[in-house]
Amino acid sequence: MLHLISWCNKRWMPYAGSNQCGLFGLFLSTVSFIASFAGILVLYILYVPNSSCMFNIFTIIWTAVLVKIMMAVSLHSKVNEGLLSSGIMGSYIVFLCWSALHSEPRTGKCYTEMKIGKDGNWATIISFIIAICSIVSATFSTGINNRSFQFRSDKIQLEEDAPYSYEIFHIVFAVGAMYFAMLFISWELNHPITRKWSIDVGWASTWVKIMNEWLAFCIYVWRLISPALARKQPANDEESASTT
């Protein structure tokens, strides 16, 4: 997702000193935020049938708060990331919230069966396909960007060396295979037999996706503020050196 955000910013958002038109980026930003807040409203309608569903109410409201925080941080003068990245990330956060609520046990009082899911859970199929594409993409990108996992930066890349790390490639692919295995058993070894198309359902799956949502938020915010902190550190060092 971070790679996608960076690519969209470089392609559709103008940078300082350029003559690039940012109308399409502004349009995508508007669509992303409208989709995010409209999705939050739809989640409240579908998964809060009564006021006793406090867990669903907290999850949805907290997701809306996270989207607003990302928008505020991205627009800060010291960050100046723009609305496109926070809009795309906000849509992704709302999707993770929906996926978490959709994984709640079907017997709960806050669960409402959607009419479009009677003939087969199309959402499960689409989410499964998206997950496969994400794991494959993450595997190849992580294998190529293996320098991020190196503790030493003085290693010289030779011409005959492979462009990616075989070890990291297979480790990431193995972790992805384990992730799909856990999806099929709903993250519980003693999970009861579920009905057709009912995979990745249960409180364990719900909490895994909620933690995934919070972790994605933390990583994105750190990506925004880390350059500002890195620029501030040399300034503090120069100031302390001049005073001594």
Q: How far is CA 49 from CA 45, 110, 143, 184, in A?
A: 7, 6, 45, 28
- CA separation for the pair 100, 57 (Å, rounded): 13
Instruction: Report yes or no: 97 and 60 within 8 Å, Cβ to Cβ.
Output: yes
The beta strands (E) that lie in 17-170 are given as: none
**Residue extents of the structural domains in the chain:** 1-12+21-112+200-239
Residue-wise pLDDT tens digits, 139-190? 777 666 655 555 455 555 555 655 566 777 788 788 888 887 887 777 777 6
One-letter identity of residue 178: M
Among 24-33, 35-44, 58-67, which stretch is predicted with the lowest mean pLDDT? 24-33
- Percent above pLDDT 90 for the chain: 19
Whether the per-residue pLDDT at 119 is higher than 60: the answer is: no
- CA separation for the pair 191, 198 (Å, rounded): 12
Q: Among residues 80, 79, 72, 84, which one has the least CA distance to residue 8?
A: 84
- Those residues with Cβ within 8 angstroms of residue 12's Cβ, 6 or more apart along the chain or in another chain: 22, 24, 25, 28, 84
What confidence category does residue 5 fall into, taking pLDDT thresholds of 50, 70 and 90?
A: confident
C-alpha 200 chain-centroid distance: 18
Residue-level pLDDT at 172:
79
- CA separation for the pair 111, 187 (Å, rounded): 20
